[in-house]
Amino acid sequence: MAGLATTLGSGAMTNTIGEVSDSACIMAIGTSTTEAHPIIGYQVKKAVRRGAKLIVANPQEVPLVRFADLFLQIRPGSDVALLMGMARVIVEEGLHNQQYIEERTENFEAFKESLSEFSLDFVSDITGVPEEKIVEAARMYAQNSPASLLYCMGITQHSHGTDNVLALSNLALITGNLGNISGGVNPLRGQNNVQGACDMGSLPNVYTGYQKVEDEGARQKFEGSWKIELNPKPGLTHTEIFDAAYRNDVKALYLVGENPVLTEANASHSIEAMEKLEFFVVQDIFLNETAQKADVVLPAASFAEKNGTFVNTERRVQRVRKVIEPVGEAKPDWWIISAIANEMGAEGFAYNSAADIFREISAVTPSYAGITYERLEHGGIQWPCPAEDHPGTPVLHTEKFNTPSGKGKLMPLSYRPSEDCCDFDFPLILTTERSLYQFHSTMTRYSEGLDELSGGEHIKINPADAERMGIADGDLVKVKSRRGELEVKARITRRSQPGVAALSFHFAECPTNLLTSSALDPVAKTPETKVCAISIEKA
């Protein structure tokens, strides 16, 4: 989300889910919307039925392609080239919104300069998409307003993920598709409360509401509120934490509701790191693969057993309500942490309810200042909501951007190939994807029936590759990368393009992330799970 924060000032979906169906053009890139976000998928399909143009850009022939006017089957990791190539066509053909660019953006000239790199034949060469389709996509996006950009992990999980996001924001800015209804740049958040966790400062560099830890004023405010001196140095990111543990710099880890044994890129490295920890606490609802490595495991209450709030991908803060009593002795996460803090003699953790905590959040978080549990009883509220009489904000940036100048910043970009490159030993690219019937690694595996529907894990290989390698549908194959190997059954399908294979990461039986690369995006520190060089042979 660092990308959008740079150019627009906020890293969140700029528009609302309900607006998608009224878009005149939707470009879905790096998202299998119907599988990972089915409800937003319904909106996209509704828009198509109402006559909207749909462009799908994805290395995989995802189910949404069936509804698309234009499918750009790009090579994994070539997003910047595609998007900048489209931008160049738009500017060259004069399809950009000159007035919007003048009034609401800055840095257009430098940006324009950087487009020179992205000639059509270059872009076509990098992406594998025919030139005329790139031109068609550019025209389709620029000429049908409002146009909405939807993206997901297929954009961000790259060593140049931030560039990808910047390229998307560029595209929206030059066509005036930010701040308008049914337009925007819309990252679809993968988990129910990623937005809320980010908003709350479960990030190494910010407090709640994206107030920077390095910012003196922000820090002093929190020191005042929490009545304690705070560390001014930004902390380590997710992947860096495991690297630090591997080096013995981090010795104690408190891990809540995650399963990095399956989800962390280059998982064998992370597993080793966990084994080196001196003290390891895991708090979860299941004794998953990661919890089994802990020194202490704490039983947490599930979503149905506690009160609180979730923030969805469109920044809507909504009430979560307790349906049943927690099973056994399970407790809400906030209760457990508070109990430990109290035991350690800390002040400021005497919470009796989630409502108590939320009052404190509203007090220290400007974008949440107007949100209260009482108001949430009548339905969710989209932040920013600075005051109790403020209705919330369905569309961001309608008047200005949250940048210092108030203008959207166009970013010159250049193409960088992915870190993990194919060679003679690892001739194929592995990309990761999700199944409609599974959710990350844990919960859904315990829900009866979903496994049956998803039919288990398969590596999806294009028929041409399969024929060359002598692999038949259903064969057990050995997949190797520079970091690890695993065995899995093959599924021969045109969903994968030649040279690309795909796996999901839901299954402990097939720990995909043993293979993936943890090369990080230099800004966002997101690992490159979407591009990984592999070899496949019959097991």
Please identify, using beta-carbon distances, which residue of 251 and 468 lies nearer to another protein. 251
Answer for which of 286, 375, 427, 539 binds another protein (CB under 8 A) is 286
Q: Is 480 an interacting residue with respect to another protein (CB under 8 A)?
A: no
In terms of Cα–Cα distance, which of 310, 316, 309 is closest to 13?
316
Type and span of the H or E element at 478: strand 476-481
Q: Which of residues 8-47 bind another protein (CB under 8 A)?
A: 17-18, 34, 36-42, 45-46
CA distance 349 to 357: 9
Handedness of CA 79, 82, 88, 91 (dihedral sign): negative
**Can residue 79 be called a binding residue for another protein (CB under 8 A)?**
no
Contacting another protein (CB under 8 A), which of 439, 457, 503, 530? Answer: 439
> What part of residues 507-526 is at the interface with another protein (CB under 8 A)?
524-526
7 three-class SS: helix
Q: Which is nearer to another protein, 101 or 524 (CB)?
A: 524
Instruction: Establish if 529 lies at the interface with another protein (CB under 8 A).
Output: yes
Residue 49 binds another protein (CB under 8 A): yes
* Site for another protein contains 450 (CB under 8 A): yes
Least Å distance between CB 202 and another protein? 4
Q: Which is nearer to another protein, 76 or 201 (CB)?
A: 201
348 binds another protein (CB under 8 A): yes
Q: Does 314 bind another protein (CB under 8 A)?
A: yes
Say whether residue 323 binds another protein (CB under 8 A): yes
Q: How far is the CB of 122 from another protein (least distance, A)?
A: 29
Residues 6+ apart with CB under 8 A from 420: 481, 482, 517, 519, 528, 531, 532, 533
Strands 316-320 and 308-311: antiparallel
Scanning 143-151, 164-172, 308-316, 478-486 for contacts with another protein by CB under 8 A, the matching segment is 308-316
* Selected binder of another protein within 110, 113, 132, 296 (CB under 8 A): 296
Tell me which residue of 152, 149, 143, 91 sits closest to 119, measured CA to CA.
Answer: 91
DSSP state of 509: T
Binding mask 171-210 for another protein (x = CB under 8 A): -----------------xxxxxxxxxxxxxxxxxx-xx--
Residue 312 binds to another protein (criterion: CB under 8 A)? yes
Q: Does 456 bind another protein (CB under 8 A)?
A: no
Q: Which is nearer to another protein, 96 or 491 (CB)?
A: 491
Tell me, what DSSP letter sits at residue 499? T
- Tell me which residue of 2, 3, 37 sits closest to 20, measured CA to CA: 37
Q: How far is CA 373 from CA 338, 353, 385, 429, in A?
A: 21, 12, 13, 48
Q: What is the SS3 string spanning 67-83?
A: HCCEEECCCCCCHHHHH
474 burial level (CB within 10 Å; 0-12, 13-18, 19+): exposed
If the CB atoms of residues 49 and 468 are measured against another protein, the closer one turns out to be: 49
Closest CB 56 distance from another protein, rounded Å: 14
Under rule CB under 8 A, residue 101 binds another protein? no
Q: Which is nearer to another protein, 124 or 518 (CB)?
A: 518
Cα–Cα distance measured from residue 166 to residue 180, given in angstroms and rounded to the nearest whole number: 19
Instruction: State the first-to-last Cα distance of the chain, in angstroms, to the nearest integer.
Output: 40
Instruction: Give 346 or 476: the residue with its C-beta nearer to another protein.
Output: 346
Least distance CB 236 / another protein (angstroms)? 5
Measured CA to CA, the distance from residue 169 to residue 150 in angstroms comes to: 11
Subset of 209-248 contacting another protein (CB under 8 A):
213, 222, 226, 228, 230-231, 233-239, 241, 244-245
Separation between Cα atoms, residue 140 and residue 147, nearest integer Å: 9
Helices 354-364, 216-226: axis angle to 10 degrees equals 150
Report the C-alpha gap between 136 and 54 in whole angstroms: 12
Q: Which stretch binds another protein (CB under 8 A): 95-103, 170-178, 306-314, 412-420?
A: 306-314
Tell me how far apart the 2 most distant CA atoms of the chain are, in Å. Answer: 67
Q: Is 436 in the site for another protein (CB under 8 A)?
A: yes
In whole angstroms, how close is the CB of 78 to another protein at the nearest point? 20
Q: Which CB, 31 or 124, lies closer to another protein? A: 31
